[in-house]
A = this chain, B = another copy of it.
Amino acid sequence: MTSQNQATLAVSTVIFALRPDEASGLMTLWLPLVRRIREPHLGQWALPGGWLPGDEELAAAASRTLRETTGLTPKYLEQLYTFGDLGRSPGTRVVSIVYWALVQSDEAALAAVGENVQWFPADRLPELAFDHNRIVDYALWRLRTKVEYARIAHAFLGETFTLAQLRDVHEAVLQKPLDPANFRRTVEASGTVVDTGQHLAGARHRPPRLYRYNDSSRLADQGPLGPSIG
């Protein structure tokens, strides 16, 4: 019946974007992290986030804290999971409602970058503050087990994309190379993408066809809850 001694509520956000790996040139998942400027975990990297004010909706708080720390304003944020284990934060108990989003590289390019905000490759993260490595691991697992990769490609790449770009997305998410011919057959048989009849501009010789995702524009349909727009 009382809120005393319960827990402090926070929101955090995991944002993935695709970028070429600096060494290999292959498309890789990256995410922005914020350096902590106070204790606990002073100086360590953490997911963007902050406390939940009592008068702000959950998704709005996630969106605002993300914007304030990184400058990012993704079109859609979705709730990922709530982390509330005892002992995940020293001192007080903190229950963190975590949101996530996939952003296109042009959105990602608008992010603030500085001494205290940097992008890291998802598979080579430093030791993060609190249980944030575990949160990222969970987000990566959810991304990898998502059935509709065409939808994910849509979120990363935008309205239209080539099959090679779609394969890049699969390879980045699954972290393994895929055979181009098998990949094309599987995608064409799946019915999840539609040939737009258009071709990639700029390519001179045999420009590749452009496809689009054949359904909703959202990362994951939330059904009766509708989209979480921050």
Footprint of B on A, CB under 8 Å?
1-3, 5-9, 51-58, 79, 81-82, 84-86, 92-93, 95, 97, 134, 137-138, 141-142, 145, 147, 221, 223-225
A–B pairs, 13, beta carbons within 8 Å: A2-B51, A3-B92, A5-B54, A6-B8, A7-B9, A7-B54, A9-B9, A79-B81, A81-B225, A82-B82, A82-B97, A84-B97, A95-B97
- Residue of A3, A54, A138, A145 most packed against chain B (CB within 10 A): A3
Q: How far is the CA of A227 from the CA of B214 in the complex (A)?
A: 34
CB–CB A82/B54 < 8 A: no
Which residues of B lie under 8 Å from residue A95 when comparing CB positions?
9, 58, 97
Q: How far is the CA of A20 from the CA of B2 in the complex (A)?
A: 41
Which residues of B lie under 8 Å from residue A221 when comparing CB positions?
145
Which residues of B lie under 8 Å from residue A81 when comparing CB positions?
79, 225
Min CB gap A40→B, angstroms: 12
How many identical subunits does the complex contain?
2
Contact of A225 among B6, B52, B97, B138 (CB under 8 A): B138
Known: A79-B82, A134-B224, A142-B223. A54 touches B93 (CB 8 A): yes
A220: nearest chain-B partner, CB-CB: B145
CB–CB A6/B9 < 8 A: yes
A38: nearest chain-B partner, CB-CB: B1
Min CB gap A197→B, angstroms: 30
CB–CB B6/A223 < 8 A: no
Contact of A147 among B52, B97, B147 (CB under 8 A): B147
Q: How far is the CA of A174 from the CA of B221 in the complex (A)?
A: 17
Additional A-B contacts beyond A82-B97, A138-B224 (4; CB < 8 A): A3-B3, A54-B93, A57-B85, A79-B82
